[in-house]
Amino acid sequence: GELVIDRGRLAQLVRDLSGRLAGDPALESLAEIAQHLARVSDDLQAQVMLSRLLPIEHVFSRFPRVVRDLARKSGKQVRLLIEGEQTGLDRSVIDAIADPLLHLLRNALDHGVETPEERRAAGKSPEATVLLSARHEENSIVIEVTDDGRGVDPRRVRESAVRKGL
């Protein structure tokens, strides 16, 4: 951070002096040094940012067992697919997203995925599929949890909210 600040100060100094010392060889040399410093500090900053990235696999790897245990406990058959596990994410974000992802997976198994009997009656395979994926999209990382279950019943959600006074 301090290097970037000093780089900016040096560039401003070169701009300020260029009006007074136009054509001075020492100023031209200083300008070249400032440009080189800018390139080197940009490269250094990019490398530092990359060193903070970890593959999202560090958090995704926790979930196959959790999904298997939840499925067994609820009497459901579920196959967890994971995509994009090599997608890089900042270390601090990896720690912060573990609990919300677990909540989403629990919701998928508890409320989205049907029992094998319900799935057969609906013309589906008895085994449900839950997909946990991560990908780069522009300047963001998109993480999705999707399932091939029945979806959320808005009527039941509304009834539950009214019952709870929400």
12 CB neighbour count, 10 Å cutoff: 11
pLDDT band at residue 45, thresholds of 50, 70 and 90? confident
115, containing H or E segment: none
pTM, entire model: 0.69
Both structure tokens of 47: 């490398």
Cβ–Cβ < 8 Å for 3, 44: yes
pLDDT of 84 above 90: yes
pLDDT of 50 above 80: no
How far apart are alpha carbons 126 and 119 in whole angstroms?
5
pLDDT band at residue 49, thresholds of 50, 70 and 90? confident
35 CB neighbour count, 10 Å cutoff: 13
